[in-house]
């Protein structure tokens, strides 16, 4: 597997999603449409993807809500124009 690293600005992020550890399904939601959050369960196999609930500050669901809030707000603010995420680009070679 070859791997490269590149930078993506907050404004270039198109969507955020889940990769189900059980069935491998991938869900993506456009960042502009995250007003209802991401589903806490896989809709294919019902695997729990984020534990807890919004009222618990230490739950996975609450941490995710805070992250999504940060993403949305940073895109609206001046500092967000310079905010970048370094991400790996993995290319699998199939034989």
Binding site for Zn ion (CB under 5 A): 20, 22-23, 25, 42, 44-45, 47
Name the residue nearer to Zn ion (CB basis): 10 or 18.
Answer: 18
Q: Which CB atom, from 25 or from 83, has the smaller least distance to Zn ion?
A: 25
Dihedral in degrees, nearest 10, Cα atoms 40, 41, 47, 49 = -20
CB of 44 to Zn ion, least distance (A): 4
Least distance from Zn ion to the Cβ atom of residue 34, Å: 20
Distance of CA 38 to the CA centre of its chain: 9
Q: How near is the Cβ of 61 to Zn ion at its closest, in Å?
A: 17
- When the beta carbons of 48 and 73 are compared against Zn ion, the nearer one is 48
Q: Is 30 left (phi over 0), alpha (psi -120 to 50) or beta?
A: beta
Nearest to 12 by CA among 68, 89, 88, 84: 84
């Amino acid at each position: 597997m070859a791997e490269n690293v590149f930078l993506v600005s907050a404004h270039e992020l198109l969507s955020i999603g889940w990769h189900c550890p059980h069935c491998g399904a991938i869900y993506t939601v456009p960042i502009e449409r995250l007003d209802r959050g991401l589903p806490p369960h896989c809709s294919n196999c019902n695997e729990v993807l984020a534990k807890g609930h919004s009222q618990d500050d230490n739950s996975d669901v609450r941490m995710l809500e805070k992250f999504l809030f940060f993403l949305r707000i940073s895109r609206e603010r001046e500092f967000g124009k310079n905010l970048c995420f370094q991400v790996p680009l993995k290319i699998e070679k199939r034989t």
